[in-house]
Amino acid sequence: MPRWGIIGTGDISDRLVSDLLAIGGEITAVWGRTPDRASDFAARHGIPFATAERSALFARDVDAVYIATPASTHTAITLEAIAAGKHVLVEKPIATSAVDAEMLFARASAAGVFLMEAMWMRFNPLHVEIIERITGGELGAVRSVRAGFGTPFFPRPGKARPEDGGSILRDRGIYPVTLAHWFLGEPDDVQARGVVSERVDLAGHATLDSAGGAFAQLAWSGVDFLDLSAAISGERGWITLDPMFWAGSDARVHAGSAERIFREPERIGHPRVGNGYGPMLEAVGTAIESGLREHPWHDAATTISITRTLDRILADISSESR
């Protein structure tokens, strides 16, 4: 399995590193822009080397890096890591435009290194089962997806500052959009509305229409509560994912018989282990070991396509808010 270097010492790094260690992952170095925090992080997780110089991390015995810094820095740091010959798992959003996402995958491919956006929802056992059941035909053709991710939050760096790539769509709305893409693909038409303040989109909702009439109704917010559940509906029934749909462990399948559809849906559950990142980390480690340069479950084409939809939604919101 790869020896990991961690870039960024914030909340998500802490949680993911706990899961990486719990599955037996080896972490040889950590980079943080604040030396004391990098040292504290290393001590907390038993990591042998901490640095505030990324070149020093790249020079170590590191095969793959995990990048968890603000969105606006993802493209530049991913390029550095690729140039250093490292495999890369970079937090969502991989980039702040589809053009940049496309460029990153092209560079990774040319350098022969693995690259994936850390879309852990795709590897969550509940979502894996739902995708298998729906692609296996349990609901018939999917006709609609509904999903929401909204809670009021106290603005903090990386989430609300435009210079950090702050965007509630790219930070939270990416989950509803990704869910819709799994079942409906890239939409033919996008109509979105939202709230923009000081160049940061704080909330929005969108309808994504596909040729043939299937559609997704999605909402995200950093200022209001929204129902945190999701539903995927098809010709023969629907599946509801309990809150928080992107990280949850339970769903109800309303399909198969009138009893199941209307009164007693089948309940499926996959209790979360640790913070929930273990399945993605195991899958990425195995993919790198096997010589893959993309993961088939969240590959370049899927990631670029989702990023393009995020771009289209933001363009619609921005044109409306002018």
Is 92 designated active site? yes
- Please provide the DSSP assignment of 208-252 as one string: EE-TTS-EEEEEEESSS-----EEEEETTEEEEEPSSTTT--EEE
- Beta carbon of residue 163, minimum distance to ligand NAP (angstroms, whole number): 8
- Give the number of other CB atoms < 10 A from CB of residue 139: 24
- Beta-bridge partner residues of 116: 89
- Beta carbon of residue 306, minimum distance to ligand NAP (angstroms, whole number): 14
Instruction: Using the rule CB under 6 A, give the single segment among 6-14, 19-27, 211-219, 249-257 that binds ligand NAP.
Output: 6-14
Instruction: Using the rule CB under 6 A, give the single segment among 30-38, 145-153, 204-212, 286-294 that binds ligand NAP.
Output: 30-38
Q: Check residue 265 for interaction with ligand NAP (CB under 6 A).
A: no
- Please provide the DSSP assignment of 57-77 as one string: HHTSS-SEEEE-S-GGGHHHH
Site string for ligand NAP, 83-122 (x = CB under 6 A): --------xx-------------------------x-x--
Q: Is 322 helix (H, G, I), strand (E, B) or coil?
A: coil
Separation of alpha carbons 170 and 70, rounded Å: 11
Residue (of 244, 245, 268) closest to 255 by Cα position: 268
Q: Check residue 274 for interaction with ligand NAP (CB under 6 A).
A: no
Catalytic residue among 87, 92, 181, 254: 92
Nearer to ligand NAP, 34 or 151 (CB): 34
Instruction: Using the rule CB under 6 A, give the single segment among 65-73, 236-244, 258-266, 295-303 that binds ligand NAP.
Output: 65-73
Q: Is 24 helix (H, G, I), strand (E, B) or coil?
A: coil
Q: Check residue 68 for interaction with ligand NAP (CB under 6 A).
A: yes
- Cα–Cα distances (Å) from 304 to 19, 117, 238, 315, in that order, read 27, 10, 28, 16
Separation of alpha carbons 65 and 141, rounded Å: 39
- Beta carbon of residue 29, minimum distance to ligand NAP (angstroms, whole number): 15
Per CB under 6 A, the list member of 22, 28, 33, 236 interacting with ligand NAP is 33
Separation of alpha carbons 103 and 71, rounded Å: 16
Per CB under 6 A, the list member of 35, 48, 140, 157 interacting with ligand NAP is 157
Number of residues that bind ligand NAP (CB under 6 A): 22
- Beta-bridge partner residues of 241: 230, 251
Q: Check residue 69 for interaction with ligand NAP (CB under 6 A).
A: yes
- Beta carbon of residue 42, minimum distance to ligand NAP (angstroms, whole number): 13
Q: For binding to ligand NAP (CB under 6 A), which residues are involved?
A: 8-13, 32-34, 37, 68-71, 73, 91-92, 118, 120, 157-158, 171
Catalytic residues: 92
